[in-house]
């Protein structure tokens, strides 16, 4: 990040040195002044030094002030910087062109020192207020996102405490899913969404009787039919929501028991009809269940569990995801060691 003084930076742009001197003399007692004598240099300085405001001449060779302003406003880095046009062109149509190009104000030459200072102060105050509001919105958005993440984690733990003594399954499982998502080339934001949403996969178990969840033997047909309702229960608990995070969590809850060959539940989806998040969660969930102690089984070895995942490629699991997960097996072992029950 660029080092900046306490004084705000004003970039003065004009191809006539005398005009630059006039504006600089007006401003330098209150602001740090930078100058450019052409449009291209102005764009370079603006992106590098991020001035707080730009005073821009209109009639310049090569790039006009209107061209420079349009370029500034099309650049994500500089588009919020206020631009005041300073020009001898004083017809209404000229001012209209300046505002259409993205200018915030318009001062005509010859300039008056009080007017220049007043206009600059006004635009800087507005700019500072806008930045303060943007920071408040950014912080609030971050807080809301973190709150949603924590709710998802807590609900995931609540479900796991029903049938897992420590609830660490949701942590391991979500990290296995994250490994797969990264390995298949998902964007960072997408893979982190999988990481954040997958702990909710079994939240529907909250609605399943303990006598079924904790049964130390194979479930009978009736009990199994009840157990198969937990994806739908989970989907209803999370509900429909505009939040991408909660929407993904709901999809994972509903589809993590679907199978690539169409023999899964609750809807018997097949192949690509199963959402990718659900296909990824299926592997992470099964792998961790295999290597964990359950009321009805002992923990499998990593090698045995990995072989099972491999054997279910094209049946329970999407082959591409199986291949990706097996390539991540050393990282999966480390996750299991770090977050073991």
Angle at 46 between CA 42 and CA 47, to 5 degrees: 125
The pLDDT value given to residue 88: 84
The pair of three-digit structure tokens given for residue 25, joined into one six-digit string: 């003399």
**What 8-state DSSP symbol labels residue 215?**
-
Domains located in the chain, CATH noted: 9-135 (3.40.50.2300), 161-338 (1.10.3210.10)
Instruction: Tell me the C-alpha distance between 235 and 227, whole Å.
Output: 14
Whether 119 has a pLDDT exceeding 80, the answer reads yes
Percentage of residues of the chain with pLDDT beyond 90:
65
Q: Which two tokens stand for residue 313?
A: 């490629």
- Whether the pTM exceeds 0.75: the reply is no
Task: Report the distance separating Cα 265 and Cα 216, nearest Å.
Answer: 23
Q: What integer pLDDT is reported at residue 269 of this predicted model?
A: 97
Check whether 319 has a pLDDT greater than 60: yes
Average pLDDT rounded to a whole number, residues 285-308: 90
- In angstroms, rounded to a whole number, what is the distance separating the alpha carbons of residues 214 and 262? 28
pLDDT in tens, 217-234: 888 999 999 999 999 999
CA-nearest of 292, 54, 275, 60 to 176 is: 292
């Amino acid at each position: 990040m660029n080092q900046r003084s306490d004084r705000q930076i004003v970039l003065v742009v004009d191809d006539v040195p005398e005009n630059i001197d006039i504006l600089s003399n007006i401003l330098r007692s209150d602001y740090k002044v930078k100058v450019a004598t052409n449009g291209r240099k102005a764009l370079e300085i603006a992106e590098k030094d991020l001035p707080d405001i730009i005073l821009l001449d209109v009639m310049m060779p090569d790039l006009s002030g209107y061209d420079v302003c349009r370029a500034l406003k099309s650049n994500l880095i500089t588009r919020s910087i206020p631009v005041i046009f300073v020009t001898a062109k004083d017809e209404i149509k000229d001012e209209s062109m300046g505002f259409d190009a993205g200018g915030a104000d318009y001062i005509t030459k010859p300039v008056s020192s009080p007017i220049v200072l007043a206009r600059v102060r006004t635009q800087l105050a507005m700019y500072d207020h806008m930045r303060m509001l943007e920071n408040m919105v950014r912080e609030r958005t971050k807080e809301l996102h973190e709150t949603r993440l924590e709710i998802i984690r807590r609900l995931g733990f609540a479900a796991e405490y029903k049938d897992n003594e420590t609830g660490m399954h949701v942590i391991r499982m979500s990290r296995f899913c994250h490994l797969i998502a990264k390995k298949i080339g998902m964007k960072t934001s997408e893979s982190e969404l999988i990481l954040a949403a997958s702990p909710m996969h079994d939240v529907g178990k909250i609605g399943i009787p303990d006598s079924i969840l904790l049964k130390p033997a194979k479930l009978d047909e009736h009990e199994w039919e009840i157990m198969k309702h937990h994806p739908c229960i989970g989907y209803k608990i999370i509900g429909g929501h505009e939040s991408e995070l909660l929407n993904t969590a709901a999809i994972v809850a509903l589809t993590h028991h679907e199978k690539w060959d169409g023999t899964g539940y609750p809807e018997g989806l097949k192949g690509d009809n199963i959402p990718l998040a659900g296909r990824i969660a299926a592997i992470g969930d099964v792998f961790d269940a295999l290597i964990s102690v359950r009321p009805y089984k002992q923990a499998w070895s990593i090698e045995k569990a990995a072989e099972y995942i491999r054997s279910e490629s094209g049946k329970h699991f999407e082959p591409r995801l199986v291949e990706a997960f097996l390539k991540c097996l050393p990282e999966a072992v480390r996750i299991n060691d770090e977050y073991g029950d």
